[in-house]
């Protein structure tokens, strides 16, 4: 019997992922185990998944507990979507760096926000992985938690259990590119690879025609440029479109957020790069998501059965039914992208069937694109090893090689910013030596 555990079930991902799983054709029964340390949000998630089971007419059992060891045993798939201390620290991770001139839009992957999210997330995740090894050693881990590369990298360092990091940036961006270029999505061909939030569409064509000249021509329209200002501008100079939104991407490179005039020019609003967008809105989104689910459970809003573009259920179906599918996953490199660190994590196309997730070889990225990825991978390497070795100086060095911090601050300023954040988040980060 199929068993799937979702850890961090209070997350906004649960609705789409559970619905996708329960809509898998001919998968009529199984168990979904829900885990969250917040009992109230766990109960909302439990009622939601039960409601979806009822709507699909299937025979799935739903179990839930704030104690993961009670329910995850025997799982074939463990889905990770935990958030550790986010509400308490999101303001620190935005406001303290801003005093030093480090202006973040999202701050959940790189930069000061990404580093301290790593430092407070990974210790809890290590304990969860140890329980997975003991209670469901034959499972596959599907990770949705950011920082995606750091969580996946750490997992690959501490266990032999297969892990793949899953994002929706390739799906979303490929659809956007078809729209920007004015071609049917199912007729567009592409090849993408790199790292999470920085995969590059190195090939993009329709009916044998290169779409990059088309995009360069179309971006002369200021209305199109306004839709995706950082990514389109970067494409113009770097020769390839990147996989994550303008707001996210603006933080991963040193070019767009180092002075206010550039922010005003390229980072206009919302996910396009607005200052403090995540810190200002994420607590509100979280509350609104819970309220929307409660309204659906009480019948005040419709709960429609519709599939999302997330990969979790695609993997589960491909493995259980041995029906080959292709996804884009974050996996240990091991020769997949030749000019990126072999001990890091990369994002490439993967074949999935009964043998699990099998990454495909990409080859080499254009060297200038690989160099931008390598700067991010060095940050992840230092941050992950800082957690594993409980090494405070290694964590500080991670912030020193962060592209945005380095573009704005001196080494002394970065060190002071690190110390101030470390002191502010003492209750959420294990003591580093």
Find, among 47, 16, 11, the residue nearest to 306 by Cα: 16
> Is the bond preceding residue 296 a cis peptide, omega within 30 degrees?
no
Among candidate residues 168, 206, 266, 368, the one labeled active-site is 168
The structural domains of the chain, ordered by start, are 3-85+114-166+300-310 (3.40.50.720), 86-113+167-275+311-433 (3.90.110.10)
Taking the C-alpha atoms of residue 263 and residue 256, their distance in angstroms, rounded to an integer, is 6
> Is the predicted pLDDT of residue 433 greater than 90, yes or no?
no
Active-site residue 397, yes or no? no
What local confidence, expressed as pLDDT, does residue 268 receive?
Answer: 80
> Is the predicted pLDDT of residue 111 greater than 90, yes or no?
yes
> Is the predicted pLDDT of residue 269 greater than 90, yes or no?
no
The average pLDDT across 6-23 equals 95
What local confidence, expressed as pLDDT, does residue 396 receive?
Answer: 98
End-to-end CA distance of the chain: 46
Q: pLDDT per residue over 196-247, tens digit each?
A: 999 999 999 999 999 999 999 999 999 999 999 999 999 999 999 999 999 9
pTM score over 0.85: yes
Tokens of 167: 């994002």
Helix axes 86-99, 411-424, angle to 10 degrees: 150
DSSP structural state of residue 334: T
CB 197 within 8 A of CB 213: no
Half-sphere exposure of 119 (CA within 13 A, CB side): 35
Taking the C-alpha atoms of residue 256 and residue 246, their distance in angstroms, rounded to an integer, is 10
Return the residue matching tokens 């599939």: 307
Taking the C-alpha atoms of residue 15 and residue 51, their distance in angstroms, rounded to an integer, is 10
């Amino acid at each position: 019997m199929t068993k799937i555990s979702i850890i961090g079930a209070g997350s906004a991902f649960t609705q789409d992922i559970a619905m996708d799983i329960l809509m898998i054709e001919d998968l009529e029964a199984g168990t979904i185990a829900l885990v969250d340390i917040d009992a109230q949000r766990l109960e909302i998630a439990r009622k939601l998944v039960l409601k979806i089971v009822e709507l699909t007419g299937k025979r799935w059992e739903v179990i839930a507990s704030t104690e993961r060891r009670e329910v995850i045993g025997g799982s074939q798939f463990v889905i990770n979507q935990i958030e550790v201390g986010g509400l308490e620290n999101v303001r620190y991770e935005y406001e303290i760096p801003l005093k030093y001139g480090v202006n973040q839009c999202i701050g959940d992957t790189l930069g000061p926000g990404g580093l301290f999210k790593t430092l407070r997330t990974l210790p809890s995740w290590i304990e969860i992985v140890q329980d997975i090894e003991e209670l469901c050693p034959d499972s596959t881990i599907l990770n949705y938690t950011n920082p995606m590369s750091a969580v996946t990298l750490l997992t690959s360092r501490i266990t032999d259990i297969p892990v793949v990091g899953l994002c929706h940036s390739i799906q979303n961006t490929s659809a956007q590119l078809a729209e920007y270029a004015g071609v049917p999505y199912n007729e567009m061909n592409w090849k993408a690879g790199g790292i999470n939030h920085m995969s590059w569409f190195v090939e993009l064509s329709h009916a044998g025609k290169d779409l990059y000249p088309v995009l360069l021509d179309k971006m002369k329209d200021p209305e199109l440029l306004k839709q995706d200002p950082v990514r389109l501008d970067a494409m113009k100079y770097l020769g390839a479109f990147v996989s994550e939104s303008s707001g996210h991407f603006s933080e991963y490179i040193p070019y767009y957020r180092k002075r206010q005039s550039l922010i005003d020019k390229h980072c206009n609003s919302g996910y396009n790069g607005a200052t403090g967008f995540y810190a200002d809105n994420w607590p509100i989104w979280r509350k609104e998501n819970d309220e929307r689910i409660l309204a659906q459970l009480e019948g005040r809003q419709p709960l429609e059965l519709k599939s999302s573009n997330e990969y979790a259920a695609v993997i589960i179906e491909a493995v259980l039914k041995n029906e080959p599918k292709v996804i884009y996953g974050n996996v240990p490199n091991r020769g997949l992208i030749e000019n990126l660190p072999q001990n890091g994590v990369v994002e490439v196309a993967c074949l999935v069937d009964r043998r699990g997730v099998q990454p495909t070889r990409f080859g080499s990225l254009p060297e200038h694109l690989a160099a931008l990825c390598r700067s991010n991978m060095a940050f992840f390497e230092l941050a992950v090893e800082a957690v594993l070795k409980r090494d405070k100086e290694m964590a500080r060095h991670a912030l020193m090689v962060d592209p945005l911090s380095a573009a704005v601050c001196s080494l002394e300023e970065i060190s002071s910013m690190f110390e101030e954040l470390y002191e502010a988040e003492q209750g959420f980060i294990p003591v580093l030596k």
